[in-house]
Amino acid sequence: MNAARHPRLLFEKIWDAHVVGDIGEGAVLVYIDRHLVNEVTSPQAFEGLRLAGRSVRRPGATIAVADHNVPTGDRSGGVAAIADIDSRLQVQTLERNVEEFGVPYIPLVSRQQGIVHVVGPELGLTLPGMTIVCGDSHTSTHGAFGALAFGIGSSEVEHVLATQTLVQQKPKSMLIKVNNRLGAGITPKDLILHIIGKIGTAGATGHVIEYAGEAVTALEMAGRMTLCNMSIEAGARAGMIAPDETVYAWLRNCPHAPKGEAFEAAVAQWETLRSDKGATFDKTLIIDGRDVAPMVTWGTSPEAVTTIDGLIPDPAVIEDTAKRKAVMAMLDYMGLEPGRPIKGLPVDIVFIGSCTNGRIEDLRAAAEVIRGRRVAAGVRGLVVPGSGEVKGAAEAEGLDRIFLEAGFEWREPGCSMCLGMNPDQVPPGQRCASTSNRNFAGRQGPGSRTHLVAPAMAAAAAIAGELVDVREIAR
């Protein structure tokens, strides 16, 4: 707008363009372009509207889909056939609410149903320069398109429904620049785990991360989404990447993205969405992409991570008492021997899916490792596409056959085993190599033991029956 303006960061440009008004003491009202709604964090928000006699200000900027609770088995019975009473009630409540408030909704039986962070981008609901929120922390995923996207709580969901705005304090900024390309067989999941291992789960608290550098711009959209998705595991408010031709190419194929001249006009504006030379970040981290190796978590926090060649830490050599105790508690929960190599650790379950790694590219990477091989005896393998569209595309390519013939389960889309809210759970004491994003105690079910890995690494673990370096079994 104003050429004489001081240099600004990508996130500041989006921020400034969405400030509706100043409400004093450093707080502003920020306009929200897109509001994604799920069944878990919205019931209390709709109830709040109802009690106050309020309506949804802009239903057309809102879209709802159920993902956390939904069973991933046979769907033919629809919502009424969800066996768990509380899960069924939550999905039914969402359906009642979207009807009452006139909010667009993707039903459970639709081919477009899936995890909200997979659905938004593939339908073209996520566009560069937008402000996007959802009552879910992994909303940071959408930052891969050069959007400012972040998770909110239910009270804020209610606030956005009622006003299409949020009361916000301006966050700080952080640059994570990854020089050089990632090595052969190294994935964006390994990169983000590497970053979290370096800065810790509170390393970016209060900050919006902008990812840049050769390793980042070389990534396809799925990889960019994986990276931005787990920004929250580094404590960040949001993660984002400046939009470029990779983004536009993706959007040209999306059903609800702008078309034709409207699209070209949009691109012209999106091209201005980059951090100006001379604009400064509050924090900077520079990484060499060549240093990143396949990563595996060993503890109950995403920062408790090592390379596949690494050792499980030995608390005996940790001087800081609090840290030593924390590591001991994690090893105890995870049933791990101190000091042994992480490689060779037997797994009971392999889960390939989630909003981190449930996209077609992730399934292709896993299938590539699996093709013509079999899941090790005694291991349960699940492949859960992130959406119905992903599932359909995978089936069209024959990936489902590869997984089924190898002995994997091929399931309906949803959050599935990422969290213990639907029937897909890791039984107590069992060990799971998982492509999801959180390894908290009990996350995948009470007593579950999670090792976060990339899709190819998960596939390799399924075949070997233990954690292995995918590069060693690659063809």
Partner 1 sequence: MMEPVRDIAGQAIPLRIDNVDTDMIIPAKYLKTITRKGLASGAFEALRSRPGNLLDDPAYAGASILVAGDNFGCGSSREHAPWALLDLGIRCVIAPSIADIFYNNCFKNGILPIRLPLRSVERLMGLAAAPPTSQMTVSLVNQTIASADGVTEHFEIDTARKADLIKGVDEIDRSLREAQAIQRFEAHDRTARPWVRDMASDFLV
Which lies closer to partner 1 via its Cβ, residue 64 or residue 467? 64
- For residues 196-255, which are near ligand SF4 according to CB under 6 A? none
- Distance from C-alpha of 446 to C-alpha of 467, rounded to nearest angstrom: 22
C-alpha distances in angstroms, 312 versus 343, 453, 457, 469? Answer: 10, 15, 18, 15
The verdict on 138 binding ligand SF4 (CB under 6 A) reads yes
- Distance from C-alpha of 194 to C-alpha of 293, rounded to nearest angstrom: 8
- For residues 248-287, which are near partner 1 according to CB under 8 A? 256-258, 262-263, 265-266, 269
How many residues touch ligand SF4 under the rule CB under 6 A: the total is 13
Per the document, the length of the chain is 475
- Going by their DSSP bridges, the two strands 131-134 and 105-106 should be labelled as unpaired
- Please say whether the beta carbons of 296 and 306 come within 8 A: yes
Interface region with ligand SF4, contact rule CB under 6 A, candidates 208-216, 309-317, 414-422, 464-472: 414-422
- Which DSSP string do the residues of 181-220 spell out, in sequence order? PPPTT--HHHHHHHHHHHH-TTTTTTEEEEEESHHHHTS-
Cβ-proximal residues to 295 (8 Å cutoff; 6+ apart), any chain? 189, 190, 193, 194, 197, 305, 306, 307, 308, 452, 453, 454
The verdict on 136 binding ligand SF4 (CB under 6 A) reads yes
The verdict on 37 binding ligand SF4 (CB under 6 A) reads no
Q: What are the start-end ranges of the H helices in 240-319?
A: 245-252, 260-270
How many residues touch partner 1 under the rule CB under 8 A: the total is 88
The verdict on 87 binding partner 1 (CB under 8 A) reads yes
The verdict on 402 binding ligand SF4 (CB under 6 A) reads no
Question: Which residue among 355, 375, 433, 460 contacts ligand SF4 (CB under 6 A)?
Answer: 355
Find which of ligand SF4, partner 1, none residue 354 binds, CB within 5 to 8 Å per kind: ligand SF4
- Distance from C-alpha of 245 to C-alpha of 81, rounded to nearest angstrom: 44
What is the phi/psi pair of residue 15, to 5°?
-55, -55
The verdict on 13 binding partner 1 (CB under 8 A) reads no
Find which of ligand SF4, partner 1, none residue 284 binds, CB within 5 to 8 Å per kind: none
The verdict on 419 binding ligand SF4 (CB under 6 A) reads yes
Site mask, partner 1, residues 141-180, x = CB under 8 A?
A: ---------xxxxxxx-xx--xxxx-x-x-x---------
Question: Which residue among 123, 415, 432, 456 contacts ligand SF4 (CB under 6 A)?
Answer: 415
| Residue 411: CA count within 13 A, CB half-sphere | 25
DSSP structural state of residue 350: E
Which lies closer to ligand SF4 via its Cβ, residue 175 or residue 204? 204
Interface residues toward ligand SF4, by CB under 6 A: 67-68, 115, 117, 136, 138, 354-355, 415, 418-419, 436-437
